[in-house]
Amino acid sequence: MDLAIANKQRLDKLPCIAHAPENLDTLLDAGSFRERLHLEISQAKDRIYLVALYLQDDTAGRNIMTALYEAKQANPQLDIRVLVDWHRAQRGLIGANKSDGNAAFYREFANTYEHQIQVLGVPVRNREVFGVLHLKGFIIDDKVIYSGASLNDIYLAQNNKYRYDRYHVFQNIALANTMAEFIISTLSQSEAVNCLNKHSRPTTKTIKGAIKDLRTQLQSASYSFEKQTIDNHQVGLTPLIGLGKRKNRLNKHICTLLGSAQKEITICTPYFNFPRLVSREIKLALKRGVNINIIIGDKTANDFFIPPSQPFTTIAGLPYLYEVNLRKFAKQNEMAINKGQLSLHLWRHDNNSFHLKGIWVDQEYMMITGNNLNPRAWKLDLENAILIHDKHQLLLEQNKQELDQIMKHTKRVRSYLMIDNVNSYPNEVKKLMKRIHRVKADHILKQIL
């Protein structure tokens, strides 16, 4: 317990931005997120910076792009920047025919309107498989809308189907300026970052050197802000950023956060594939008597899941691979499950999917993040988070409402035997799993997926 106290002291020494609890809105569903995003875009006066893995060429994506361009035409001085992953924007969907991807969609809009907006492609690595822009946060004037969601039909619940995430709106000029400054000075000004809505753009090969320089810079980057005093009626906000294995401050603080728990930890992750250090902190927390709740999407709620009735592709094996990990973890910790100290909850709601991530500790700290808490996030992708320090539990009711909504469609796993094993999988999946284990590729896959 002494180590947990030391970790808590480390968290309490982190610099914070002061925030009034009444200026944090927790949205509880994807539809509300979509409506709030459109509302804030329509009311923007000075700036709109949207950062996401992708802005998709579909109904929801086109609606967002239309809203942005209409705002720009109405107010040409409005500073609008959309930042997406460079590689993801220039390819089609997995399994689709080769295409110019969403970049063609961005060019189409650029050719339609008089006043342009910047759609910038950010390359974190030379190849998508080895790292992407997984930064989150939409800055609109003095607000930060933070979610792990990208911008397309399913994330924005466009057609009566949704991918469930978390959604928070902070009205805080210091936080907005801090995150905006990083976008402007570190990302927008990099020679590796190029406009995607232009007909002529460099190839990845020609900017390899610039990509390497950007990645080196990002590996030691941090959000810059002045430390503020937090009074008894405020919570503290610590924005964090991280990339890579060695100097990753976000990874370090995630471990410190888990290591600080004395009573309870709740974790959400869509892909059950914890990094080694996270697994270690969970194991240590169980040893010191901490109650742990882990909320995971059922394999059928995974965004890669394909029903057995449809043609099988290799990528559809991923949800089963994560379930194999979960069953093994549950079996190893069966005693803690039986005692009620470890609670595993599987989320499933009709044909919708699960994309939640985040950590709650001792009703005093909450981390909102796009980090999937898997080895890929830990080593390859550019990730960020906002750590909320709530010493006086001012957000207790708001947090409870969010967690109650998350738990609404979950089923508790009371034994590892409740989780399907490989023998029950469709034949194509069983063959794939055997092949993966035979060539010992499972370890490699877990590092990049």
The Cα 259–Cα 11 span in angstroms is: 10
Tokens of 265: 């930890």
Cβ–Cβ < 8 Å for 243, 382: yes
Using CA atoms, how far residue 99 sits from 86, 91, 111, 124, 240, in Å, is 14, 6, 19, 21, 35
Query: What is the CB-side half-sphere exposure of residue 106 using CA atoms within 13 A?
Result: 28
Cα 442 to the center of its chain, rounded Å: 23
Q: Provide φ and ψ at 171, rounded to 5°.
A: -100, 100
Look-up: residue for tokens 């708001």?
398
Neighbouring residues of 409: CB distance < 8 A, sequence distance ≥ 6 = 347, 348, 349
Using CA atoms, how far residue 88 sits from 70, 132, 158, 435, in Å, is 25, 8, 21, 28
Burial (CB count <10 Å: 0-12, 13-18, 19+), residue 38: middle
Q: Which residues pair with 17 in a beta bridge?
A: 237
Cβ–Cβ < 8 Å for 375, 275: yes
DSSP 262: S
Look-up: residue for tokens 């060695």?
246
- Which residues are known catalytic residues? 134, 165, 355, 383
